[in-house]
Structure 1
Amino acid sequence: MPNAWDAGSAVILVEAGFAAIATTSAGIAFSMGKGDHTLPDGAPAVSREDMFARIQEITAASAVPVNGDLEDGYGEPPDEVAKTIRLAIDAGLAGGNIEDYNGRELYDEALSVERIVAAKEAAGPNFVLTARTDGQLLKQPTPLADSIRRANLYAEAGADCLYVPGVNDLAAIRSLVAEIDGPLNVVLGLGASGLTTHDLFDAGVTRISLGGSIARAALGFVRNAAQEIQTAGTITFAADQIPQGELNALFARHRLPPAEQ
């Protein structure tokens, strides 16, 4: 389930044959020239309104279900989380993640459960609610057992899928699969890891996402291209571009009504 940051990237990912895609709050923020998640003091963040405007562009461009990166639900109170879920459904999302981290620390465990309960009530039966616990991403990660306990509490609260980002060790991932009572999402692309999608599926992982890794790689390509022009004066990077005619044909074909495709 790779993550798109705008309509164009969504179309390309869908064209590649994925059955579902996701949004990336990081990729969307970076495309707006803003930071994501843990921000330096005073750094601009993406508002819920701006995030959903972009999400709606992505869902409108996608012919497959889209899962939304909904961060912490854009507010601590459970009713704010419920509001975010209702906005997600209105924006055309088929599912979404709710984190238990506010950018500084994990929410209190009991409150985190209340937030998932409120999210599930707002989601109803046709929206795939993923509960994400971020203890493994802290500067001092919590014990893995704590993340497992939280994930199971969120499953009991109604979450359809559980998500513990920051675990890159295959043995630890197998422990998550064995000890979490529900489908597990694992993210590839956070930190150094030699794991493959095949490794994860063989370990029993249900769903794999990529977070902002494709978006960050795309921006890395832009920076490398700029540095090549500035230093060497060459444009060897242009050999990797998708031809304009191919892109025009792709987006034109995508915009045709379904009956005409």
Structure 2
Amino acid sequence: MRPRRFVMPATSPPWPRGSRSTSGSRDGFAFTLGRLDGRVTLDEVVAHAAAISHATDLPLSVDLENGYGPEPESAARAITRVADAGAVGGSIEDYDPTRGIYELRHAVERIAAAAEAARGVGFPFTLTARAENHIRGHPDLDDTISRLQAFADAGADVLYAPGLGSAAEIRAVCGAVSKPVNVLARAGLSLPEIVAAGARRVSVGGSLTWVAIRAMVDAAEAIRDAGDVSALAARLPLDEWFPG
């Protein structure tokens, strides 16, 4: 049987027709609060996860940053709380905004604690472990692979190294690890190319947020600068998106 690949739109409702799962966009959510990425609290993320879970039957995975604290207990607590809110998956990364990339042993301890928490929620919960090197100024592919291998051994279900820049890098990661790999889609690589390189799950991060915001800004600037209101003719099938 051919392995299935999932594309995870990181959006707020409505979701694209035919979606099989959804993932909370942390920078998109922060933007709705008038903040930058990394400025949202765990309490706010849990409330947002509960709202999304209530609005859809799609499986929900939540980006939990570093677990909102440096210690293994923080990562475990974040997993338990979003599971209680209705999520069936969550990610923990190895980057701290004040301390940088965690030392490997500490990063592994955090993933192990998160994995133990995920196994204890009472239903299947998919833990994604993130190696942040490539988006944090340290694009060392060998170190990234070593971290992902260690995270797999610590109990992660899915592995994720956001920022891989080529099909060759994706192929190298996928060929070196024992667990499914999530890949962050980016302009310049098509979905078929990402899948052919070995990705088992593909996410878009906050990009759909910025696509929508760019369209809104372009329309507003056209109104302001040229008196052009043609963009206001856009219509959406809201009755189909929100039946009943």
The CA RMSD measured in Å over matched residues stands at: 1.4
Note closer, same or farther for the CA distance 1:153–1:34 as it changes in structure 2 (3 Å cut).
Answer: same
Q: Cα offset for 1:250?
A: 2.7
- The separation in 2 between residues aligned to 1:152 and 1:82, in whole angstroms, is 20
Q: Secondary structure at the match of 2:95?
A: coil
Aligned position for 2:4 = none
Aligned position for 1:12 = 15
Q: Cα offset for 1:239?
A: 3.6
| Conserved? CA contact 2:25–2:63, under 8 Å | yes
Aligned position for 2:94 = 100
Aligned position for 1:2 = 9
Identify which of 73, 82, 102 aligns with 2:76: 82
Aligned position for 2:169 = 172
Q: TM-score, normalised by structure 2?
A: 0.91
Q: Cα offset for 1:161?
A: 0.3
Identify which of 42, 53, 70 aligns with 2:47: 53
Cα deviation per residue 1:96-128 (whole Å; 9 max; x = unaligned)? 110100124101111110001100110016100
- The separation in 2 between residues aligned to 1:27 and 1:99, in whole angstroms, is 18
Q: Cα offset for 1:232?
A: 1.0
Which segments of 5 or more consecutive residues in structure 1 lack a partner in the other structure? Answer: 38-44, 254-261
| Conserved? CA contact 2:115–2:156, under 8 Å | yes
| Conserved? CA contact 2:9–2:15, under 8 Å | no
Q: Secondary structure at the match of 2:112?
A: helix
Query: What percentage of aligned pairs have identical amino acids?
Result: 36
Q: Secondary structure at the match of 2:183?
A: strand
Aligned position for 1:252 = 243
Which segments of 5 or more consecutive residues in structure 2 lack a partner in the other structure? Answer: 1-7
The one-letter amino acid of 2:44's match is D
Aligned position for 1:42 = none
Aligned position for 1:145 = 142
The one-letter amino acid of 1:217's match is V
Identify which of 212, 216, 241 aligns with 2:235: 241
Identify which of 198, 204, 212 aligns with 2:206: 212
Aligned position for 2:156 = 159
The one-letter amino acid of 1:152's match is Q
Check if 1:117 corresponds to 2:112.
yes
Q: Cα offset for 1:238?
A: 2.4
Q: Cα offset for 1:171?
A: 0.9
Aligned position for 1:257 = none
Aligned position for 2:33 = 32
- What is the count of residue pairs matched by the alignment? 233
Cα deviation per residue 1:119-175 (whole Å; 9 max; x = unaligned)? 011001610000001001123x24100000000000000000000000121111111
Q: TM-score, normalised by structure 1?
A: 0.86
- The separation in 2 between residues aligned to 1:236 and 1:203, in whole angstroms, is 42
The one-letter amino acid of 1:102's match is D
